[in-house]
Chain A
Amino acid sequence: MSDVIVAGVGLHPWGKFPEKSWVEMGADVALDAVSDAGMEWTDVEAMVSGAMQWGGSTGMRSGNTIAAALGETGVPIANINNACASGGSLMRAAYAMITSGMHDSVLVIGTDKSPKGYFPSVPVLADEPRPPVDMVRWQVGVPNPAYWALEMRKRMEAYGSTEEHLAQVKVKNSRHGSLNPYARYQKAFTLEQVLSSPMVCDPLRLLEICATSDGAAAVVLVSEKKARRLGVNPPVKVAACSLASGEFGDPTIRIPLLAATSDGAATAPLLSESRLAAQMAYEQAGLGPEDMDFVELPDNSSWHELQYLETMGFCGEGEAEKLLDAGETALGGRLPVCPSGGFSSFGEATMAQGILQIVEVTWQLRGTAGTRQVEGARKAITEVYGAQANNSACVLTT
């Protein structure tokens, strides 16, 4: 089985780009990643691309749309949608194509433009016998951040977490984001500013929930053999790439569902798919959370950052706030969390955000992350968070 090496990466600045199409953004990062790998467009052996629902029919086949724009070469193209876990799912698909020996190079593209505000539901067939639950939950009035707020309130009750903890997560990530020229928000917020931002779904405030953004990112993964031929230096290795889904009995009420059935045996934890994806990635890499120099986790909201520190095994249940309070999760701390600035600074562009994490980790492991460089970074894990219990984690090493 061949090792999988990140040969090239490309990242578009994130924000709102009404003058530029998602196709152009995707084509830009694709060519950037190919050129960063020292390759030509015509050298790419296969492509996987995020099936972008907001782009309609051509968006759902974004890879073919981008290939048609840049020049069709007849390579296999797979378009995948796994909600916010799409980037990780694309990585896993590309990883499998290389470890299996099927291809020596795969281009991974995520490009996305998002509607403003809460993500709305996607239109469905009018003549289905029952309305889909995604329509009903909107009539009930449950936007995505409400699901996160429900979990956060339980956390406050169980562990004494405070609104200040939520705000401190944003203060930290905004400081990281202020050092990243690709971030949509490059402003370091104070605790007072975060705590005076409007409440959206209490206890979560506007600045503690990631915005919906336009963004694009691409990665070229290659086999060991191809990496040697290209002279990739330093070779950033994809040591693991996992994908997991939810387990029955998990108490998490999933976006966009209205209920969660608990298993009588109560064996599945909160965010079971995320815990599983992280465990699988550690196992595959032969490493543990204690080996990681930093982490890019899915800070879709401040609640996520606290919860994922536990879900990914960095501390016990209810202990994430202690790491935050001690400054361990800030740049310069023992385990910097989201040195890129995270989704809190970039906003979410669901097809691209998992790939954004891979780009950041690659730059960090190459030692080219500039003022936000994690000193001596050799190993890191990324994890995304997908609606309806999808999750993926990648471990990268050098």
Chain B
Amino acid sequence: MKQTPVLEGAFVSDPEPVLVGSRCRSCETVAFPASFTCPNPRCARKDVVATSLSRTGRLASWTTVHFPPPPPFVAPDPFVPITVVEVEFVSEGIQVVGPLVGASAEGLRMGMAMETVVEVYYSDDSGEVIGWKFRPTEGDADE
């Protein structure tokens, strides 16, 4: 089946699933999704390259969404509540939101290690749309 990324260039699956953002070669600021420029107002050089984020980060917050979001969200019928998590990638200095997978919200606790995975968001006539999700993992977040 044809697979389309929810956002071209925002993640890779090989050799391991990670998010891809941009990093400023001058001030090291990381942005996600990748930007064409550096968002640091005090940075004059603004020379950015693509950069892979750490695979693992720390759980900074979460919420379970109990009512289906409107399109372009594709909701199963009946709707199954989804949990959105905020993961902090410490060495990159960035927090990213994404859907939770592989655990229920009840099992979450602040600061636990979360790893990036790439999974199917939904399928439609043109194939599968894939994107990043986060799942709890053993061990510590990459520092």
Contacts and interface: CB of A to CB of B under 8 A. Distances in A.
Chain A complexes with chain B: yes
Interface of A: 117-118, 120-121, 130-131, 133, 135-143, 146, 149-151, 153-154, 157, 198-204, 248, 251, 253, 258-264
Given A150-B86, A201-B65, A259-B31, 19 more contacts: A117-B70, A130-B8, A131-B7, A138-B70, A138-B72, A139-B72, A140-B6, A140-B131, A141-B65, A141-B84, A151-B61, A153-B62, A199-B64, A201-B66, A204-B63, A248-B41, A259-B96, A260-B94, A262-B93
B71 interface: yes
Nearest to B110: A157
Given A138-B72, A199-B66, A261 B94 contact: yes
B5 to A, nearest CB: 10
A248 B105 CA distance: 31
Contact of A136 (B7, B30, B74, B95): B7
A150 B84 contact: yes
A139 B124 CA distance: 13
A142 B84 contact: yes
A133 B65 contact: no
Interface of B: 6-8, 21, 28-33, 39-42, 60-67, 69-74, 82, 84, 86, 93-99, 105, 110, 121-122, 129, 131
6 contacts: A118-B70, A133-B33, A135-B72, A142-B69, A258-B97, A259-B31
A150 B97 contact: yes
A178 B30 CA distance: 48
Contact of A259 (B71, B97, B105, B110): B97
A139 B6 contact: yes
Contacts, number: 122
B60 A154 contact: yes
Nearest to A266: B93
Contacts of B30: 261
Given A118-B69, A140-B131, A150 B7 contact: no
A73 to B, nearest CB: 40
Contact of B63 (A139, A202, A251): A202
**Residue from B39, B61, B110 having most chain A Cβ neighbours under 10 A:** B61
Contacts of A133: 33
Contacts of B65: 141-143, 146, 200-201
Contacts of A117: 67, 70
B65 to A, nearest CB: 5
8 pairs of A and B residues whose beta carbons are closest in the complex: A149-B63, A150-B61, A259-B32, A259-B96, A120-B70, A262-B93, A201-B63, A153-B61
Given A118-B69, A131-B7, A140 B61 contact: no
**Residue from B31, B69, B70, B71 having most chain A Cβ neighbours under 10 A:** B69
Given A142-B84, A261-B93, A150 B110 contact: no
Contacts of A199: 64, 66
Given A150-B62, A153-B62, A201-B63, A138 B69 contact: yes
B61 A154 contact: yes
Contacts of A121: 72
Contacts of A131: 7
Contact of B98 (A140, A151, A198, A261): A140
A204 B65 CA distance: 10
Contacts of B96: 258-259
Contacts of B129: 139
B7 to A, nearest CB: 5
Contacts of B62: 150, 153
Contacts of B73: 138-139, 141
Nearest to A204: B63
